[in-house]
Amino acid sequence: MASTAVARKPIYKHLYFWVVVAIVAGALFGFLFKKPASEMKWLADLFVNLVKVVIAPTIFATIIVGIAGLGNLAKAGGLALRTILYFTAMTTVALAIGLIVVNLVAPGHHGGEIHLNADAAKDTLKSASSAETGVTGFILSLVPKSFVSAFTDGQLIQVLVVAILVAIAVAGMGERGQKVVDAMETVAKVMFGVIKIVMYAAPIGAFGGIAYTVGKFGGSILGKLAWLMGSFYLTCILFIAIVLGLVARFAGFSLLKFLRYIKDEIFIVLGTSSSESVLPRLLVKLEAAGADKSVVGLTIPTGYSFNLDGTCIYLTMGAIFIAQATGHDVSLGVQIGLLLFMLIASKGAAGVTGAGLVTLAASLQAFEAHSAIPAVGIALIVGIDRFMSEARAITNVIGNGVGSLVVARWQGGLDRDQLKQVLDDPDSVDVDELMQKQHATVH
């Protein structure tokens, strides 16, 4: 409609443009000045930490407002059940695909001899030793040590649990609870105002992240482990194109158009190697695309703990690669057992750099007696984990975005006409402007 047409912003006013420029500049800087580039990871860490400062209060407030907006706890329970069922199904598929591809391609049998340097795995194995794995560990990890620690320990899944408990309590207060809902809505709007400010630093974070990766690791290690990296990237692409493509088509929208819609977020994740860096923006974009605020407010935070598709692919591929490279045969039965174990171990893994490697190491340690895969074999992929984390994080973000829209339609909370309009004309949605409007309406 001509009356609703908006003027196209010049490309240099789009966030993704400056992030791409920063990524290219960071890569060049890493190639040309390896030593100083290898010390620039702090720029990416600084940006991610700035975003993480506002994630916990934003999620806490958003979930309370969202569940209260559903009207009754039965409807909230139905949404939660649909969300968990969908995410469990998708992560199982991701684990299975990783297992199938790594057995077919057998990257551990290619690329020449790879020497095992146990010292390279010391820090990772130490971190993995303190990680809780298995059903009991997973359940215990859901509950924070205190109300405040849910926000200070950086465990998004614990913030999610506390927020749901508070939301249920508020919903039971009737009209008196509306004051709490109004206060939480104000908190959320303030946080989105902060996020809008922080996102100006996204290109700086992307520059530092890519410069560090290229300068620190260079290309020497890539040749030996090219088969694993190539297999992993291929598997992620297949999962996105085929599995998520079919899911999106079933839900009534085009995956390619959706990827175009969230291109800013994809480039930010590529540069920073962290899916958490775009969580708040993803909330705003999905709501603008026609998904109910109550649905998005629950599915996205839950997905960041329960629906890490890229991490799941990485877990099964990494485990079997280590087995192949160290000369250990793993039977089909053991591989299926490992898949089921990792289905639990992957839940609650943070969507940030390094979490996939630690979760893999913790899983190998816990399952070592059954699988014969040496946990110390994690040293084989420590050097390229940073290169693989970008694909993990991007796959996680895309999977959660698609999943949120699917659950929204399943719940009856998706405006399909608005979704079609937005995906056909993604420039009609200005996230910065939406955040500014939300912030400006605080009263």
Question: Would you state the structure tokens that stand for residue 344, as one six-digit string?
Answer: 């639990």
The residue among 307, 303, 288, 272 whose CA lies nearest residue 52 is: 272
- Residue 2 resides in a domain: no
Lowest mean pLDDT among 77-81, 131-135, 357-361, 425-429: 131-135
Work out the pLDDT band at 2, boundaries 50, 70, 90: very low
Question: Could you tell me which residues come within 8 angstroms of residue 283 by beta carbon, excluding any fewer than 6 positions away?
Answer: 58, 62, 296, 297, 300
What is the average pLDDT across 15-22? 86
Residue with tokens 């968990």: 84
> Does 7 map to a domain?
no
pLDDT at 213 over 90: no
Mean pLDDT of 128-152: 73
Structure tokens at 393: 């994080």
> How much is the pLDDT for 257?
95
Given this model, what pLDDT does residue 436 score? 61
Whether 11 is covered by a domain: the verdict is no
Residue 284, token pair as written in the block: 């705003």
345-355: pLDDT as tens digits: 777 554 444 57
- Give the model confidence (pLDDT) of 262-282 as tens digits: 998 999 998 888 888 888 889
Residues 229-248 as b or e (16 or more Cβ within 10 Å = b): bebbeebbeebbeebbbebb
Residue 414: beta bridge partners? 291
**pLDDT number for residue 48:** 86
Between 155 and 296, residue with greater pLDDT: 296
* Lowest-confidence segment of 76-90, 103-117, 127-141 by average pLDDT: 127-141
Confidence band of 3 (pLDDT split at 50, 70, 90): very low
Residue 425 in any domain: the answer is yes
**Least confident span in 30-34, 181-185, 426-430:** 426-430
Domain-located, residue 290:
yes
Whether 181 is in a domain gets the answer yes
**pLDDT given for residue 342 in this prediction:** 85
User: What pLDDT was estimated at residue 134?
Assistant: 59
Give the distance from CA 242 to its chain's centroid: 19
- Give the Cα separation of 86 and 403 in Å (integer): 7
135 domain residue, yes or no: yes
More reliable by pLDDT, 223 or 107:
107
Quick check: 204 pLDDT over 80? yes
- For the segment 176-184, the average pLDDT, to the nearest whole number, is 87
Nearest to 262 by CA among 396, 352, 356: 396
pLDDT (mean) for 108-112: 68
Burial code of 95-111, b = ≥16 C-beta within 10 A, e = fewer?
bbbbbebbeebebbebb
> Could you give the CA distance from residue 149 to residue 130 in angstroms, rounded to a whole number?
17
Residue 10 lies in a domain: no
Mean pLDDT of 84-97: 94
Regarding predicted confidence, which is higher, 220 or 227?
227
Q: Are 284 and 404 in contact (CB under 8 A)?
A: no
The more confidently predicted of residues 43 and 365 is 43
Residue 208: pLDDT above 80?
A: yes
Task: Give the highest mean pLDDT range of 58-67, 121-130, 255-264.
Answer: 255-264
Count the domains in the chain. Answer: 1
The mean pLDDT value for 121-132 works out to 64
Read off the CATH number of the domain in which 258 is found: 1.10.3860.10
Mean of the per-residue pLDDT values for the chain? 83
Span 170-191, mean pLDDT? 86
CA–CA separation, 166 vs 171, rounded Å?
Answer: 9
Expressed as residue numbers, the domain containing 177 is 17-440
For the stretch 394-438, pLDDT in tens is 999 999 999 999 999 998 889 999 999 999 988 887 776 666 665
